[in-house]
Structure 1
C-alpha cells in the first residue's frame, strides 16, 4: 500500500494524472450521444495507466503489457469518437511515455509508427483537414515525450549505479578498517609480549638473584620489587591475550552499507551473537554473496524484504538469505549465481538453493569452521 502511494507521488506519474484530468475536463464539449462512450473509454484508459504506474515491474510485467495494449486501443477508440477534440493525440503522447519505461526502443518505435498509421487512417475516414500534418505534429510530441522519459530513466539508472558503487566502497572500507585495526592490535600485542615481557622477565630473574644474597634477602624493598614485577608481568600477559582475542570483522555495518542505497528490498539482518569472522577473504565473500542476492531481489523477484541471517553451527557457519518476492519460472543460473557458487567452492563450503514461503529465492551457504 505504502509502496503504491510512493509511486503515485513520482513526477512522471503525477504529470500523467494531471494530464488525464485535463483531458477529462475537455470531454464536456462532446455531443451528448458520444459522451458516455468517450467517458467510459477515458476512465478505462486512466485505470490502465494507474496499473502501469503503481504496480511493481518484475511481478506484474505481463499485466503491464496487457494494460499498455489496452491503452493503445482505447486511445484509437477515442480518436474515432472525438476526431475534432484532440483527446487521442494527448493519450498517444502519454502512451509513448509509458511504453519507453516498459519496452525496448525498437518495440516502442515500431508500435508508435503502427499507432500513428492507424490514427492517420481514422483522420482520413472522418475527413479531418490536413491529417498528415496533424499526424506528424503528434509524432513530434510523442518523440519529445519518449526522449524525455528515456533520458530521465537513464539518469536514474546512472544515479542508482553510482549509489551502489558508493555503497560497495563504503562496505569494503568498513572491512578494511576493521582488518587494519586488528592488524595494528596484533602488532601492539606482539610488541608488548616481545619487548616489555622480555625485559620484565629479565628484571624478575635479576631480583630473584638479589634475593638469594643473605644481606639483601631480608629487605622489604627487594620483596616488594619481586612482587610488583610478577604482578606487572601477569598484567601484561592479560593485556596481550585480550588484544589477541579479536572481535572479528564488523560484517553487520558492511552489509547495511550495501543495502542502504536500495529503496527496495528492505534488509532484515540477523547476525547471531558470538559469530566471528576473522579472515578478510571470508568476510569479503559473504559480503559479495549478500550483494548479489540484494541485486537479484531488486531486479527480478519484485521483493519487498530480503532476510539475511548468519549463525554458528557445529560444522561451521550458516548463512541463509531469502526474499519475499516470487520467482518467474524455474531457477536460472546466470553470472551472478555462478559467481556465488565459485566463492562458496573456494572457501570449501556448500551451497543450496530453495524456495521461500512466498515463492521467492532461498539460499543456504554453509562454511566449514
Structure 2
C-alpha cells in the first residue's frame, strides 16, 4: 500500500493539481450559471463533456507505472481532450470555456516540437473563436487576442518547465552515476589494498617463516637434550604460524570480489521517471576490476540513452553469471527513432567491451534498443 501511495504521489505534481482545480471551478461555475436557465442544454449533456475532458487529461499526462500506456493511446486521449473542449464550446454560450484549451496547449507541447505546437495553437485559437463568431453570433476579436496571448504564455511556460525537468533528471542521473562510480572505486581500492597485504604476507612474512622453519629443523638435528626439545617446540610454533599466514592470505584473496549489485542499486535508485526491474544472481561478484568497470560503464551509457532518446517508463536489467562468462542484458519499453544511428555513446561501449575481449550486441526489440553485453570471467 505504501508503495502504491508513493507511485501515485510521483505521478501528480503541482501543475496537475492546478489543472484539476481549474477544471472543477469551471464545471462548478457553469453549472451554477445555468441552473435556472430555460435555454441551456440539459445538465447531462455538458456534464458528459466535462467528465470526458478530465478523464482524457489524466490519461494524456500520465504514463502510469502501475499500468503503462503507450504513447499512441496518450495522443488519442489528447485528441479526445480537445474534442470535448470544442463540444462544450459548441453547446454552451460561456465566454471563459477557452481556459480548457489553454490547459490543453500546456499538455500538447509534451508530444510535439515547439514550432509545431505554436502552429497548432494558432489553429485552435482561430477555430475556437470562429465558432464564437459564426455559431454564437458574437464578435469577440479582443477576447480572441487576449486568450491567444494566454495560450502562447502557457505554451512557452510549459516548454520551459519541461526542459528544466529534463535537465534536472539528467543531472540526477549523472549524480547517481558518480555515486555508483565512487562506490565501485571504493570497492576497487579496498580490493587493491587487500591484494597488496596478501602479497606482502605471502612474499615477505611467508618466505621468512619458511626459512625459519627450515633453520629450526636443521638445528633440531644437530643438538640434543633440553636444547633439542626447545628447538622442536619452536619448530612446531613456526609451522603453526606459517599455516596461519597461509590461511590469512587465502582469506584475503577469496574476499577480493566486487559487489556489482550494490553499485547497480546506487545507479538506478533515484531515477523517478523509470521503474527498474533487476534480475541478478543471489551472489553476484566479480573479481576482475576491468570486467566490473566495463559492465558498470556500459549500463550507465544504456540508461543515459533511455533518458535521452527512448522516453521509457520501465527498464529491465538481467545479469547471468555463467562458468566462463558474464552476460548482461538491458532493455526498456520506450521507442527510438526509426533512423537511429550509432553515436559516440555506443562507440564507446564497443571500445570498452573489446578491450576486455568481450562482445556487445545492440538491436531493436519492439521499437526499443536491446543491449546484450558478454564479458569473459576467466
Q: Please tell me the TM-score bracket, short chain as reference.
A: 0.7 to 0.9
What's the counterpart of residue 288 of structure 1?
A: 297
| Alpha-carbon distance between aligned partners in 2 of 1:7 and 1:192, rounded to the nearest angstrom | 53
For the residue of structure 2 that corresponds to 1:271, the secondary structure is coil
Q: How many residue pairs get matched?
A: 363
Once the two structures are TM-superposed, the CA of residue 210 in structure 1 deviates from its matched residue by 3.2
What's the counterpart of residue 124 of structure 1?
A: 133
**In 2, are the aligned partners of 1:185 and 1:244 still within 8 Å (CA)?**
yes
| Alpha-carbon distance between aligned partners in 2 of 1:272 and 1:318, rounded to the nearest angstrom | 15
| Alpha-carbon distance between aligned partners in 1 of 2:214 and 2:290, rounded to the nearest angstrom | 44
For the residue of structure 1 that corresponds to 2:278, the secondary structure is strand
The one-character-per-residue Cα deviations of 1:291-324 (angstroms, maximum 9, x if unpaired) are 34445556637453514222113x422223455x
Matched, 1:170 2:185: no
Change (3 A) 1:190 1:104: same
For the residue of structure 2 that corresponds to 1:35, the secondary structure is coil
What's the counterpart of residue 95 of structure 1?
A: 104
Of stretches 161-170 and 262-271 in structure 1, the one that deviates more from structure 2 is 262-271
What's the counterpart of residue 318 of structure 2?
A: 308
- TM-score, with length taken from structure 2: 0.81
Mapping 1:330-349, distance limit 5 Å: 334-335=342-343, 336-349=345-358
Change (3 A) 1:223 1:145: same
What's the counterpart of residue 188 of structure 2?
A: 179
| Alpha-carbon distance between aligned partners in 2 of 1:170 and 1:55, rounded to the nearest angstrom | 28
Once the two structures are TM-superposed, the CA of residue 159 in structure 1 deviates from its matched residue by 2.1
| Alpha-carbon distance between aligned partners in 1 of 2:202 and 2:336, rounded to the nearest angstrom | 59
- TM-score, with length taken from structure 1: 0.83
What's the counterpart of residue 41 of structure 2?
A: 35
Change (3 A) 1:337 1:265: farther
The one-character-per-residue Cα deviations of 1:198-236 (angstroms, maximum 9, x if unpaired) are 332343344334334335675422221111112212221
Once the two structures are TM-superposed, the CA of residue 353 in structure 1 deviates from its matched residue by 5.7
Mapping 1:309-328, distance limit 5 Å: 309-313=319-323, 315-323=324-332, 325=333
What's the counterpart of residue 20 of structure 2?
A: 17
| Alpha-carbon distance between aligned partners in 1 of 2:369 and 2:18, rounded to the nearest angstrom | 36
Of stretches 293-302 and 176-185 in structure 1, the one that deviates more from structure 2 is 293-302
| Alpha-carbon distance between aligned partners in 2 of 1:361 and 1:151, rounded to the nearest angstrom | 29
Matched, 1:252 2:261: yes
Change (3 A) 1:33 1:300: farther
For the residue of structure 2 that corresponds to 1:320, the secondary structure is strand
| Alpha-carbon distance between aligned partners in 2 of 1:8 and 1:244, rounded to the nearest angstrom | 47
Mapping 1:74-93, distance limit 5 Å: 74-83=84-93, 85-93=94-102
Change (3 A) 1:248 1:91: same
Mapping 1:149-298, distance limit 5 Å: 149-214=158-223, 218-263=227-272, 264-273=274-283, 275-295=284-304
Change (3 A) 1:62 1:321: closer
What's the counterpart of residue 55 of structure 2?
A: 47
Of stretches 202-211 and 114-123 in structure 1, the one that deviates more from structure 2 is 202-211
| Alpha-carbon distance between aligned partners in 2 of 1:10 and 1:44, rounded to the nearest angstrom | 21
Once the two structures are TM-superposed, the CA of residue 178 in structure 1 deviates from its matched residue by 1.2
What's the counterpart of residue 71 of structure 1?
A: 81
Once the two structures are TM-superposed, the CA of residue 337 in structure 1 deviates from its matched residue by 4.8
Gap regions ≥5 residues in structure 1: none
Gap regions ≥5 residues in structure 2: none
Change (3 A) 1:70 1:98: same
| Alpha-carbon distance between aligned partners in 1 of 2:237 and 2:11, rounded to the nearest angstrom | 74
Of stretches 279-288 and 238-247 in structure 1, the one that deviates more from structure 2 is 238-247
CA-based RMSD of the aligned residues comes to: 3.3
Once the two structures are TM-superposed, the CA of residue 187 in structure 1 deviates from its matched residue by 1.3
| Alpha-carbon distance between aligned partners in 2 of 1:4 and 1:236, rounded to the nearest angstrom | 53
